[in-house]
């Protein structure tokens, strides 16, 4: 991996009743880490993290503890960082979590099993130089979550992808929005990036249940209200140029995650949506706030 580079593995899921949700991201070269941004050596292996976020009526948690290479172990099918791990057996991705939330220290402990219905064929390049890549490898998954802390268990639908790159995100992009929505037969993904050079890219993807990509008419731009606390801008796209926010999961100075209602490819859907402002992330004041939520452990 290059100096200043990164790779992350991402999972999100929502319970069948819509009342619970989670996001898990495992990072090498933690792209949203202030410690990585301040590190002149820019060694990605010195800045690894598990980010675990639980949303719902029965327990909300945010955990993101950064660790260095001494806590990291990985091979072709597994990734371990401190007490948490990912393991792929060819059909199921098993995520074992043992983290602590911050700033209020509470345990986040449990197991998440992700069963992709199919795998897609190819990654996509997000920038003009081919330095930043994204692969929505399993857009349609069955997910089982069982936690002892907080005590909850559920089943639902989910999504799994990976990003990797050869430089800092904030040097290449100003912002992006992304969303994914389950469809009756497959899934839809919208990924709209704005680059530092003023150009942009709007990806409109539909995958059938077997992972085959097929054409989908690009939806129209749809405005959304900014978040309530940090006034993060949010936009998306929909067939009729309309969408609404059902729930805001995360509202931070540079990032927002939401559940929407819209129409994509002729179907009423509830997309999981994110808005990221890398211009805000670059702000030194924002970076100074982040250790409050992202502690770092050595060894």
Tens digits of residue pLDDT in 245-263 = 999 999 999 999 999 999 9
Closest CA relative to residue 160, chosen from 44, 55, 26, 17: 26
Using CA atoms, how far apart are residues 104 and 258, in angstroms rounded to an integer? 23
pLDDT of residue 232: 98
CA 271 to chain centre: 13
Does residue 299 carry a pLDDT above 70? no
DSSP H/E element including 266: none
Question: How far apart, in Å, do the first and last CA atoms of the chain sit?
Answer: 21
Using CA atoms, how far apart are residues 219 and 143, in angstroms rounded to an integer? 28
Sign of CA dihedral 135, 108, 18, 178: negative
Average pLDDT over all residues of the chain: 96
Give 227: exposed, middle or buried? Use CB within 10 Å, 0-12, 13-18, 19+: buried
Using CA atoms, how far apart are residues 256 and 174, in angstroms rounded to an integer? 15
pTM of the shown model: 0.96
Give the pLDDT band (50/70/90) at residue 1.
confident
- What percentage of the chain has pLDDT greater than the value 90? 96
User: Two tokens at 34?
Assistant: 């202030």
List pLDDT tens digits, range 26-83.
999 999 999 999 999 999 999 999 999 999 877 789 999 999 999 999 999 999 999 9
List pLDDT tens digits, range 192-222.
999 999 999 999 999 999 999 999 999 999 9
Residue 103's CB is within 10 A of a number of other CB atoms, namely 9
Mean pLDDT of 88-115: 96
């Amino acid at each position: 991996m290059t100096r200043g580079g990164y790779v992350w593995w991402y999972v999100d899921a929502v319970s069948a009743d819509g009342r619970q949700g989670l996001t898990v991201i495992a990072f090498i070269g933690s792209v949203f880490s202030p410690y990585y941004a301040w590190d002149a050596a820019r060694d990605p292996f010195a800045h690894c993290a598990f980010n675990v976020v639980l949303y719902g009526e029965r327990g909300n948690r945010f955990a993101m503890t950064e660790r260095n290479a001494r806590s990291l172990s990985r091979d072709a099918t597994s990734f371990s960082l401190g007490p948490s791990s990912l393991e792929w057996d060819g059909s199921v991705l098993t995520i074992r979590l043992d983290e602590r939330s911050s700033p209020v220290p509470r345990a986040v402990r449990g197991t998440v099993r992700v069963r992709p219905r199919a795998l897609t064929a190819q990654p996509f390049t997000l920038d003009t130089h081919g330095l930043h890549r994204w692969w929505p490898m399993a857009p349609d998954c069955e997910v089982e979550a069982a936690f002892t802390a907080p005590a909850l268990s559920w089943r639902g639908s989910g999504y799994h992808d990976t990003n990797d790159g050869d430089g800092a995100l904030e040097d290449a992009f100003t912002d992006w929005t992304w969303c994914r929505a389950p469809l009756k037969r497959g899934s839809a993904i919208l990924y709209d990036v704005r680059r530092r050079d003023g150009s942009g890219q709007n990806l409109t993807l539909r995958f059938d249940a077997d992972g085959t990509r097929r054409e989908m008419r690009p939806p129209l731009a749809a405005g959304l209200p900014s978040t309530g606390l940090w006034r993060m801008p949010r936009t998306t796209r929909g067939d009729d140029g309309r969408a609404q926010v059902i729930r805001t999961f995360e509202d931070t100075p540079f990032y927002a995650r939401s559940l929407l209602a819209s129409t994509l490819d002729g179907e009423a859907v509830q997309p999981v949506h994110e808005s990221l402002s890398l211009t805000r992330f670059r702000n030194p004041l924002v970076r100074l706030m982040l250790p409050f939520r992202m502690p770092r452990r050595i060894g």
